[in-house]
C-alpha cells in the first residue's frame, strides 16, 4: 500500500541529516528543521546519500505512518535546500497590503486595518502593481508552517462566491454563483 514510504529520499549537496533515536534533524543552506518520529514501528537509515524509511510490520497504522514520515522528511530536505514559496492575491476594491519587517498590514474592507505578525521563519514580501491585485509572497523552509500562516492570512477574508472578493492563493479558481436575479 505505502508506495510513498518505499521511495528513498535523495540528499542534495550541502544537506546533512542526523538521526538521534527518534529525532531527525535536517540542516542545509536555508536553515535547520527538526521532526520527532512518534511511531515505534518506523526506523530510519542513511545509505549512499539517501535516507530510507522502513516499517516493522504491515499493520494499517504502520503503513500510514511510513508514508507520512517519509514525506515529512522529504519536505524538510527540499525546504532546507530550495525552500517553499506561496503567493496570496487580494481581490476586492480598496484591498491593499503592505509590510514593515514581519508585520503585515492589510486593508480588507473592514472599518479597521488588519494587522498580522508573522513568525521569524517566514519571509514576507508585498507587491503592488497597477492593474493587478496586491500580492503577498511568503517564503520559508518549513512547509507546514508556511501553509499554516497562509491559511491564517486567507481566513481574514475568505473568497466569497458571488463577487469573488477576498484573499485567495495565486491561480486558485473560485466557483462563482449566479445572484438572485438568475432565478427569474
What are the pLDDT digits (tens) for 143-158? 999 999 999 999 999 9
Q: Among the three residues 48, 81, 114, which one is the final residue of a domain in this structure?
A: 81
pLDDT bucket at 169, cuts 50 / 70 / 90: very high
Average pLDDT, the chain: 91
Q: Please tell me the total number of residues recorded for the chain in this structure.
A: 184
Q: Is the pLDDT of residue 80 over 90?
A: yes
Q: Is the pLDDT of residue 138 over 80?
A: yes
Structural domain containing residue 40: 3-81
CATH assignment at residue 132: 3.90.930.12
Domain shared by 18 and 33, yes or no: yes
Domain shared by 29 and 40, yes or no: yes
Is 176 inside any structural domain?
no
pTM score of the predicted model? 0.88
pLDDT digits (tens, 9 = 90+) for 27-70: 999 999 999 988 788 888 998 889 998 888 888 888 888 889 99
SS3 content of the chain, % helix, strand, coil (to 5): 25, 35, 40
| Helices of type H across the chain | 3-6, 60-81, 143-155
**For the chain, percent of residues with pLDDT exceeding 90:** 65
Domain shared by 70 and 91, yes or no: no
Tally of structural domains, the chain = 2
Domain shared by 70 and 120, yes or no: no
Q: Among the three residues 57, 81, 105, which one is the final residue of a domain in this structure?
A: 81
Q: Is the pLDDT of residue 135 over 90?
A: yes
pLDDT on residue 2: 54
DSSP category for residue 74 = H
Q: Among the three residues 28, 47, 81, which one is the final residue of a domain in this structure?
A: 81
Domain shared by 120 and 158, yes or no: yes
Cα first-last separation, the chain = 52
CA dist., res. 125 & res. 134, Å (int) = 11
Answer yes or no: are the C-beta atoms of 11 and 78 closer than 8 Å: no
pLDDT on residue 1: 43
Answer yes or no: are the C-beta atoms of 106 and 52 closer than 8 Å: no
Place of cell 540542516: 27
Q: Is the pLDDT of residue 183 over 90?
A: no
pLDDT on residue 181: 79
- Mean pLDDT value of segment 11-27: 91
CB count within 10 Å of CB 53 equals 27
Amino acid at each position: 500500500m505505502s508506495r510513498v514510504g518505499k521511495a528513498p529520499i535523495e540528499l542534495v549537496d550541502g544537506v546533512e541529516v542526523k538521526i538521534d533515536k527518534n529525532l531527525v534533524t535536517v540542516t542545509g543552506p536555508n536553515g535547520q528543521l527538526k521532526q520527532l518520529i512518534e511511531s515505534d514501528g518506523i526506523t530510519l537509515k542513511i545509505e549512499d546519500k539517501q535516507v530510507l524509511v522502513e516499517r516493522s510490520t504491515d499493520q494499517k497504522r504502520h503503513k500510514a505512518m511510513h508514508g507520512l514520515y517519509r514525506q515529512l522528511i522529504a519536505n524538510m530536505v527540499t525546504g532546507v535546500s530550495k525552500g517553499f514559496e506561496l503567493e496570496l492575491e487580494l481581490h476586492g476594491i480598496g484591498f491593499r497590503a503592505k509590510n514593515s519587517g514581519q508585520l503585515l498590514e492589510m486593508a480588507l474592507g473592514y472599518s479597521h486595518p488588519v494587522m498580522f505578525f508573522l513568525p521569524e521563519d517566514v519571509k514576507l514580501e508585498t507587491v503592488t502593481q497597477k492593474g493587478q491585485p496586491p500580492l503577498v509572497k511568503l517564503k520559508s523552509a518549513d512547509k507546514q508552517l508556511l501553509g499554516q500562516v497562509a491559511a491564517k492570512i486567507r481566513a481574514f477574508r475568505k473568497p466569497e462566491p458571488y463577487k469573488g472578493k477576498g484573499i485567495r492563493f495565486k491561480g486558485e479558481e473560485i466557483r462563482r454563483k449566479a445572484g438572485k436575479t438568475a432565478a427569474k
